[in-house]
Amino acid sequence: MKLNLKNPLTFFDLETTGTNTVQDRIVEISVVKLLPNGERVIKTHKINPTIPIPIETSLIHGIYDEDVKDAPAFKNIAKSLAQFLEGSDLAGFNILKFDVPLLVEEFLRADVDFDVSKRKLIDAQKIFHMMEKRTLSAAYKFYCGKTLDNAHSAEADTIATLDVLEAQVVKYDGQEMVDNLGKSIGTIKNDMSVLHELTSSNMVDLAGRIVMNNDGKEVFNFGKHRNTPVADVLQREPNYYNWMMNGDFPQDTKRKLTEIKLRNMKM
């Protein structure tokens, strides 16, 4: 079935230096412009972000500083890209939360007017999540083939979760689990240590403000120091510790932060 279009619909995806829409930059953009007659026009550009690409990010998308050192900066392609997107609606997967905001930021930095307020924005991820519910009731129906009565009753929900986990282990035993970027993170087994590693191993504090990166280092997972080792930040910027300890952060986060600080003071 062809999409019923009045305007061109451009699907796009970004590879970036990180996930902060203010601080991070685009390193690759790929667009597929679907015309009302069904014709497709595909353009992909490597882009020099003008800032270093963190190694942990390069390991995810496979684009390193060396790969983009001779590529144009976004400001050098901004006008031609805006012209290509002129009169086109935009579509993608999770574009509302990340891709569109970052793309608009890049255009603004390049002094190119790119107004999305008059364009239709279509996010396939939102349709997916709305139509394929990710609730416990939906999981119980999918895995166990049963309707969850008394949903949101603590006892019913707890028993249903047990049944769901048992069914998941049976269904996926021996299968590889991949993250949202397609990267393998392990194989599902009927082993609680394995399931812990697959679902919770990168957590440092329960709020997720500090996580473990691929190198086994504790890094901040928010703000201006996202993806930066906690120990490095505390050494370079001691007042950051005081700011967090006096700020509106959970006690568990503050406790973990203090543990990291004390551990590194002994080294």
148: number of Cβ within 10 Å: 21
Q: For residues 89 and 246, what is the distance between their CA atoms, to the nearest angstrom?
A: 45
| pLDDT score at 81 | 97
HSE on the CB side for 134, CA within 13 Å?
6
| pLDDT score at 267 | 63
Output the CA torsion 150→152→157→158 (10° steps): -130
| pLDDT score at 181 | 64
Say if pTM beats, i.e. exceeds, 0.75. no
Domains and CATH numbers, the chain: 9-128 (3.30.420.10), 134-185 (no CATH), 210-265 (no CATH)
Cβ atoms of residues 256 and 204 within 8 Å: yes
Kindly give the confidence (pLDDT) of every residue in the chain, 267 residues in length, as a single tens digit, with 9 standing for 90 and above: 788 899 999 999 999 999 888 889 999 999 999 999 999 999 999 999 999 999 989 988 999 999 999 999 999 999 999 999 999 999 999 898 889 999 999 999 999 989 888 889 999 988 887 787 888 999 999 999 999 988 778 888 888 899 999 999 999 999 998 876 677 888 999 998 888 888 876 889 988 899 998 888 999 999 899 999 999 999 999 999 999 999 999 989 999 999 999 998 876
Looking only at the bridges linking them, the beta strands covering 184-187 and 176-178 are antiparallel
| pLDDT score at 180 | 66
Greatest extent of the chain over all pairs of C-alpha atoms, in Å: 68
Show Cβ contacts of residue 78 under 8 Å, excluding neighbours closer than 6 positions.
106, 107, 110, 112
| pLDDT score at 121 | 93
Q: For residues 187 and 192, what is the distance between their CA atoms, to the nearest angstrom?
A: 12
Distances (CA, A) of 228 to 163, 181, 183, 201, 214: 39, 21, 21, 18, 12
HSE on the CB side for 6, CA within 13 Å?
2
